[in-house]
């Protein structure tokens, strides 16, 4: 299941704050801030989708993410590879490296990351 862009914005704040009451989330937004009712609706939808949970303290709720940013991003990228690149990481890498105008330095960094992962896989 995916989050909408506005839900992703809420998640960004929750990932940074780790735990937050409604007032904390509202304070994290730049102006113009969303209406509290809008934020409450977004949080409810995110709870229903099992991305967010909360702990009750009297009449207040402290919200926290149920998924890490890296796990969410990983699912997104894997879905992208599956849906748009025939489940081929090589096709994705080819597209990514040719269509994103990466500098020589960035390509070298990617190569080093791949070489490091290859070395780690060989040692497993």
Task: State both tokens at 23.
Answer: 């007032």
Percent of the chain whose pLDDT exceeds 90: 68
Burial of residue 95 (CB within 10 Å: 0-12, 13-18, 19+) is middle
pLDDT digits (tens, 9 = 90+) for 36-49: 999 999 999 999 99
**Alpha-carbon dihedral 83, 41, 44, 77, rounded to 10 degrees:** 20
pTM, to two decimals:
0.75
3-state class (DSSP) for residue 60 = strand
pLDDT digits (tens, 9 = 90+) for 93-118: 888 888 888 899 999 998 899 999 99
């Amino acid at each position: 299941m995916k989050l909408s862009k506005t839900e992703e914005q809420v998640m960004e704040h929750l990932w940074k704050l780790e735990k937050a009451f409604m007032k904390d989330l509202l304070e994290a937004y730049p102006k113009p801030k969303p209406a509290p009712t809008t934020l409450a609706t977004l949080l409810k939808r995110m709870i229903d989708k099992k991305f967010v949970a909360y702990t009750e303290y009297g009449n207040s709720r402290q919200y926290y993410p149920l998924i890490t940013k890296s796990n969410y991003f990983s699912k997104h990228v894997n879905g992208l590879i599956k849906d748009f690149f025939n489940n081929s990481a090589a096709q994705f890498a080819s597209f990514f490296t040719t269509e994103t105008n990466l500098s020589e330095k960035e390509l070298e960094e990617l190569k080093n990351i791949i070489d490091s992962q290859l070395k780690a896989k060989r040692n497993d």
